[in-house]
Structure 1
Amino acid sequence: MKVREYFKSGEAWVWMNAGAVTICLIMVVGLLGLVAVRGLGHFWPANILQAQYTDNGAVQTVIGEVYDEKVDTAQRLREAGVAIPEGQETVTRYSIKQGNRDLTGQDFRWVMATGLSKQEYPADLVRLERYEWGNLYGRLKSVKESGAEVASGPAAWAELQKRLERSNGIHEQVIAIEKGDIGRINYALENLRLDERRLELKGKLTDQARADLTARRDALNKQYEVLNQKLQTLNQDVSRDSAVFTVADGSEKELPLGKIVSALRPNEMGVLAKAAAYCRNVWAFLTDDPREANTEGGVFPAIFGTVLMVLLMTVLVTPLGVIAAVYLREYASQGIVTQTVRIAVNNLAGVPSIVYGVFGLGFFVYFLGGSIDRLFYPEAAPAPVFGTPGLLWASITLALLTLPVVIVSTEEGLSRIPRALKEGSLALGATKAETLWRVVLPMATPSIMTGVILAIARAAGEVAPLMLVGVVKLAPTLPLDGNAPFLHMERKFMHLGFHIYDVGFQSPNVEAARPLVYATAFLLVLVVAALNLSAVALRNRLREKYKALES
């Protein structure tokens, strides 16, 4: 009887709901913690192991970072053809990130713990991060300038750091010229070509117009020659210095400093030095461009593209959703047609996102974009301008995808506004439009923002439709730059969600890319959370502003 009364009182259901919510929170926090640890731990400078490894009687020197550890049954390894001594039931294996892919052909290798001996962490072991071929592990032997040795032994490390700082500075100048000045000139030259073609199609390409275009083109070409000469000088300057390293097998490799991003000796670094290097690595991940098939470098273009696309989508979906909701609630006659429209809107919220992507590709890109090209950009043919996937079509497709959420949320907010407020406004002489603009919409703003928050949360993580309407593996330029009209809606862009898919499933080096998958996933969660929290803060301010009217 007591148990039955306990359940009838409802207290049991309260505790069950509280337990379910607690379990969900623990799972969410645990998942985020796992992703954060796996991703952010990648940027911490790990110590470098040096050991002797015996494999089938052959003794090799192994140098690298201990990347992973597994305990396997000896029986399973014997079935796989691995020689395991009798009487041993379990075997511990280590994944060593040995780097030096240009020398060994692979970044990682698995070794048996029983085969390792003389394990140590010498202070002079160096980890190089390179622009190509991943990391290199070894010992610094000497530093050269124009082929002549300038430092060796203990003095070489300080000389390497000084000259590496110089080469990185030159590399930044090269990037600034290539992406900035030369990019601007190439953009202007392409516009001149299109202007000439446009005048030719209209029959207005006179000798005077051709001479004017030629003069402008010559001026741009002269600027390009000056910049190209400066670029060649910088490239020669950055390749002046080099360093010689001794790798695990005892061979030597000479590297130009222009191909090295950074050089560290993690084994001799203290906690504070590693923390400083960790902060630099995280900052580089957030601000640099990707390289090495997206398995190295940063994700700044993907962050930029994700945020810009979500903002454009929000600007498009909010007025459309609000107008549709206002019409359905305030103006449309509440009959069978209106009910049918509401049912259709609710059903659209359940349509798979890839269907929206196919629709966006067929209607927005090929039909609408192709029509725009034929009407307004005939000079660019056969190359498409808007008749190809780009930022505009991706934003519109996601706006269409999230439109039902904004409509339903806004309509619910409109239905909760007291009828007396509307009648009072009309009784004071306001028109229906003035009542809608001055009374109804301001009070419904928190509900509108709720719909926008839900739309942002869904749109920021979508990947499937974007693969069809604008996102790419690597975008050569950002959609927003210093060239008029500054915001280039026709350009393709990068996205954090697609970056995760590409690095995790399309990468030629899966092991090296795995930490970046976790790091990018955690970053995507942070970006979505930041966008949502901004919208929530705005909603709360509006709710407080109109709380007095609601009461």
Structure 2
Amino acid sequence: MKTMKVSFTEWTKSGSPWVWLNAGAVAICIIMVVGLLALIAVRGLGHFWPADILQATYSVNDQKTRVIGEVVDSENVPAEQLRDVGVNVPEGMEFMRRNLMKVGNRDVGGTDFTWVLANNLSEQAYPEMLFAAERREWGNFYGYLRALREGDTIVKQYDGYEKTPEHLALWEAFEASIDRALSIHEEIYKIEKHEIGAINHEIERLRLQERSLTLKEVNDPAPYSKIEAQRNQLNAEYEGLQSQLLALYNEINRDSIEAEVSGGQTITISVAKIVRAFRPNDMSIGDKLGHYASKIWEFVSDEPREANTEGGIFPAIFGTVMMVIIMSVMVTPFGVIAAVYLREYAKQGFTTRLIRIAVNNLAGVPSIVYGVFGLGFFVYFLGGNIDRLFYPEALPSPTFGTGGLMWASITLALLTVPVVIVATEEGLTRIPRAIREGSLALGATKAETLWKVVLPMASPAMMTGVILAIARAAGEVAPLMLVGVVKLAPSLPLDGNYPFLHLDQKFMHLGFHIYDVGFQSPNVEAARPLVYATALLLVAVIALLNISAVQIRNHLREKYKSLEM
């Protein structure tokens, strides 16, 4: 059998090299994306694992101190650099290993993290009774539990370091005290956030009603008396809730602990300030997995604390999803109507071509330009006029004359509407002319043909435009910084107070949360892992929104596939 030889020129002309080149480029892109996601996942999700706590003696220039903390990072440092700052480095050593340790106890030492030279650590151990406590203030605490107090009375105490029945009994009493404080804290949160929050909302509404009557120069005392009666009733309810709160605060502040830190001194911590306490050196793999799951759940379901470096990011998740949903509801009809007009009704000429060029150019305008436009036109012009026309009683405090959820959603809808227009118009172009003519021949009007035949068949293309709009809008940050997003929103824009959805309210956003934690946080080392975790969650939220839209598009495509054949 004769073997045919193909020359390099013929092989090149066949197109095979370009096929392999494209395949290689796609493979490299996939590897880079998967690698990036893996890096984000490892650095972000690893933050929630309960790492073991190291206790060691640290020697620097003949001075010895005890250090307690978690090793979170490690790197090699040139020996000359260490000699320049006065560290004794053995001769002949070019590099030394140093570890970044999270030592916590910021209220004692002033910092959460410190660098230590690995070669200078001795007597390293992982004592089983070393504990970590996550606090509502001052970050983590690391040390040994010494005593539990109820008021001024010591309930249990222990002065040793070993794991003994007495020490375990003290620890169990401490855990029971934390559970008690957490249950009281939930009651306090419910009263302050919901019940008192609703009363404050109603009192403010009554104040605005009274001011409205004053501005309208209403002299009839009846409406004023009705408002005053409602206010008195609300004030009475408020006083009752305040009494409950005072009793709960006395209850929650009853217990405290005494704990020994790395320097040997003993400090007192209120149990009410502790979110959770655990002994990672004495935890099994199952215990650590349970702790890890609870931390992940806290991250996605709780509110932030400690300048956004601790706690959860649920308000940011909620704000991002709510803004994207409102944006999608606004951008879809406008984009579809514009595309239908350009393709089905507008006379195809110079003006139409000019409009299409303008739409395509709008898709390339930097997002910050849309933010400036939204701030000037939507917030200051439209919002200011809305306040003067419909909310004069609230002035000079703005209602819609400041950034909020509605203006942010409209700004992003304006930013993404060119994408929906182009995708929908391409979908309308792919529908055969024969289908339109067949519908008209059967007696349908042009409007009926468009509504019942053309638009359903073009709906997958519309969903493609919405998917692209969601993908772009969910990750935008620059325009939102001007039209409504904030670092910390005390309440969600959706609650039980009328009108339930507060479009004028500022909100949190995952993208801005990443920027704030990564670049504005005073505690950089504590914030770094949360940047990765939040970035991973933002990717997951965008992917979930896109997958939902893709499923709808695929369903519509299968539904109307028979009409295209």
TM-score range, shorter chain: over 0.9
The one-letter amino acid of 1:31's match is L
Matched, 1:519 2:533: yes
1:364-412 alpha-carbon deviations (Å, 9 max, x no partner): 0000000000000000010000000000000000000000000000000
Aligned-pair distance for 1:76? 3.0
- Within the alignment, does 1:239 sit opposite 2:257 as a pair? no
Equivalent-residue separation in structure 2 for 1:243 and 1:300 (angstroms): 31
- Which one of the candidate residues 516, 522, 525 is aligned to 1:502? 516
Q: Which residue pairs with 2:216 in the alignment?
A: 202
Matches within 5 A, 1:415-494: 415-494=429-508
Conservation of the 8 A alpha-carbon contact between 1:295 and 1:512: yes
1:141-180 CA distance string (max 9 Å, x none): 1111112111223111000111111100111111111110
Find out whether 1:163 has 2:177 as its counterpart.
Answer: yes
How many residue pairs get aligned? The number is 551
1:131 aligns with 2:145: no
The answer to whether 1:305 aligns with 2:323 is no
Question: Following the alignment from structure 2 to structure 1, what is the Cα–Cα distance between the partners of residues 497 and 87?
Answer: 60
Q: Distance between the aligned counterparts of 2:336 and 2:83, measured in 1? A: 66
RMSD of equivalent CA atoms: 0.8
Paired residues for 1:61-76 under 5 Å: 61-76=66-81
Aligned mates of 1:217, 1:185 — CA distance in 2: 10
Q: Is the 8 A contact 1:68 1:95 kept in 2?
A: yes
Contact 2:405/2:503 (8 A) holds in 1: yes
**Conserved? CA contact 1:143–1:244, under 8 Å:** yes
For residue 73 of structure 1, report the CA deviation from its aligned partner: 1.6
Alignment of 1:21-420 (within 5 A): 21-153=26-158, 154=167, 155-420=169-434
Answer with 74-83 or 288-297: which moved more: 74-83
Quote the Cα distance in structure 2 between the aligned partners of 1:275 and 1:358. 47
In the TM superposition, residue 205 of structure 1 has moved relative to its aligned partner by 4.5
| CA distance in 1: counterparts of 2:311 and 2:233, whole angstroms | 36
Alpha-carbon offset, residue 84 of structure 1: 2.2
Contact 1:196/1:205, CA 8 A, preserved across alignment: no
Listed as ranges, the gaps of 5+ residues in structure 1 are none
C-alpha displacement of 1:77: 2.9
The amino acid across from 1:300 in the alignment is: F
Report the CA distance between 1:75 and its aligned residue. Answer: 2.2
**CA offsets per residue over residues 239-279 of structure 1, 9 Å max, x none?**
11111111101111111110000000000001000000000
CA distance in 1, matches of 2:210, 2:51: 58
TM-score (norm 1): 0.99
Cα distance change on mapping 1:236 and 1:205 into 2, 3 Å: farther
Q: Distance in 1 between matches of 2:72 and 2:281?
A: 16
| Deviation by residue 1:436-468 (Cα, 9 ceiling, x = unmatched) | 000000000000000000000000000000000
Cα displacement (A) at 1:528: 0.2
User: Equivalents in 1 of 2:34, 2:47: separation in Å?
Assistant: 20
Distance, in Å, in 2 between the alignment partners of 1:532 and 1:413 is 19
CA contact (8 A) 1:390 1:492 kept: yes
1:473, distance to aligned residue in structure 2 (A): 0.3
CA contact (8 A) 1:61 1:248 kept: yes
1:206–1:370 CA distance, 2 compared to 1 (3 A) = same
Bigger shift: residues 67-76 or 161-170: 67-76
> Which shifted more, 446-455 or 79-88?
79-88
SS in 2 for 1:33: helix
Deviations 1:400-443 (A, max 9, x none): 00000000000000000010010111111111110000000000
Work out the CA distance in 2 between the residues paired with 1:80 and 1:419.
Answer: 79
Deviations 1:494-529 (A, max 9, x none): 000000000000000000000100000000000000
Using the alignment, how far apart are the partners of 1:421 and 1:182 within structure 2? 61
Secondary structure of the 2:124 match is strand
Q: What letter is aligned with 1:417?
A: I
